[in-house]
Chain A
Amino acid sequence: MPVYKLHYFNLRGRAELARLIMSQAGVEFEDVRFERTEWPALKATMPFGQVPVLEVDGQMLAQSNTISRYLARKHDLAGKDEWEQALADMYADNINDLMTGMRPAFLEKDADKQKELYEKFMTETVGTHVAFIEKQLEKNGTGHLVGKELTWADLAYYGFFSFLVEKFGEEFLKDASHLKSLIALVEDLPNIKKWVESRPKTEI
């Protein structure tokens, strides 16, 4: 088994999916977390001056989705053939876009403007996307996003949507029974439960 070392801030953020994948796969990893004050000194050591970075036996891999995809493929969570793997990639890219779409609201300093931006994000961006996902889940018919089994796509949706529920409540999922079921399914996986209970508690 290779030695995995994941470098990131002390946040869930863009590293949590990789942590969920490794936890679900039952793979050991060193969960290196640093504070913002330590970052300037570490930045120059990262391949593109950014994190997360996965160190695999001393070699560095950057970019959160690349890291997650690499781990998913290595540990049977990527999909059973190339087509399923592509579908899983597609869903992970959707989550990536949603995370990026949330940034302007997240970074807004004015409290009133921030509230407005979050509301717009949740109704327009997330609401629209949830409607599409419900259709896809219904069409696939297995409870999973891709194929018949758990893939990192399911973990990606769990990671981001459980965070949204935490922050905004469940109301926005009232017409999304399939997505709600998927989130509950992942939440109940023993390895995920164990990780969520033991991980450092962070705001994001």
Chain B
Amino acid sequence: MPGYKLYYFNVRGRGELSRLILHCAGVPFEDFRFEGKDWPAIKPNMPFGQVPVLEIDGNKMLAQSHTVARYLARQHGLAGQNDWEQSQADMYVDCIYDMHGTMRTPTWETDPVKQKELFDKVNEETIQPHLEKVEQHIIKNGSGHLVGQGLTWADIAYYAFFTTPIMTRLGGEVFTKAPHLKKLIELVGSNPNIKKALSSCPAPNTKLINGHCSTE
């Protein structure tokens, strides 16, 4: 087993998918989390001055959140059974990447009224039309999963996106027209390894607050 060290801020954000993949696959890793104030010292050592970064065996570094997640999914049996399934999974995760981008503005808005307004706009313009298509695809696929017959990192990516604090707080109506996706997300959430990961904090000096690790 290679030695994995995942560098990211002490938030879920764009690091969480890789963490969940590793937890789901039962693979140990160093979940290296840091605060904003520590970032300037770490930044120059990152390949493109950004995180998340996966360091392997202390000497190889891989950047870009979805590249890291895809690499881990492929190494640990969560990528899909053949080239076509792997591409289907890539496709779904790319959709999540795009939606992450649109959610940035609402997520960082501090005024709660404005935040709800921005969230509702993203939901109406981007998320709902997307979910309408995804529902059709899940029904057509027939297994309850996004791709093929079993769990892939695509399912985990949708789980991660739809269980963020802002989504949990403001997204109560998000699955009104997407019962199959709702069921899939609940299924991922009930995975014993994911349940175990979310019930404890592996990182030092952190504790569980509202379901995620923090240094508070």
Nearest residue (CB) in B for A62 is B91
Pick the residue among B67, B94, B129 that contacts A86 (CB under 8 A): B67
Nearest residue (CB) in B for A128 is B49
Judge if B48 is at the interface, Cβ distance under 8 Å.
yes
Judge if B37 is at the interface, Cβ distance under 8 Å.
no
Judge if A61 is at the interface, Cβ distance under 8 Å.
yes
**B interface, size bucket:** 20 to 34
Q: For chain B residues 75-101, which have a beta carbon within 8 Å of chain A? A: 75, 83-84, 87-88, 90-91, 94-95, 101
Chain A contact surface mostly: helix
- Stretch binding the partner chain, chosen from A17-25, A28-36, A68-76, A158-166: A68-76
- For A136, what are the chain B residues with a Cβ–Cβ distance below 8 Å? 47
Judge if B66 is at the interface, Cβ distance under 8 Å.
yes
Pick the residue among A69, A74, A86, A132 that contacts B90 (CB under 8 A): A69
Cβ B91 vs Cβ A63 within 8 A: yes
- For A128, what are the chain B residues with a Cβ–Cβ distance below 8 Å? 49
- For A94, what are the chain B residues with a Cβ–Cβ distance below 8 Å? 48, 63-64
Cβ A63 vs Cβ B90 within 8 A: yes
**A interface, size bucket:** 20 to 34
- For B130, what are the chain A residues with a Cβ–Cβ distance below 8 Å? 48
Q: For chain B residues 3-52, which have a beta carbon within 8 Å of chain A? A: 47-49
Beyond A132-B47, A132-B48, is A73–B83 a contact (Cβ under 8 Å)?
yes
Cβ A86 vs Cβ B71 within 8 A: yes
Cβ B67 vs Cβ A93 within 8 A: yes
Cβ A82 vs Cβ B71 within 8 A: yes
- For B137, what are the chain A residues with a Cβ–Cβ distance below 8 Å? 47
With the chains together, A93 CA to B90 CA distance in Å?
12
8 residue pairs A–B, Cβ–Cβ below 8 Å: A61-B91, A62-B95, A63-B94, A65-B90, A69-B87, A70-B90, A93-B64, A94-B64
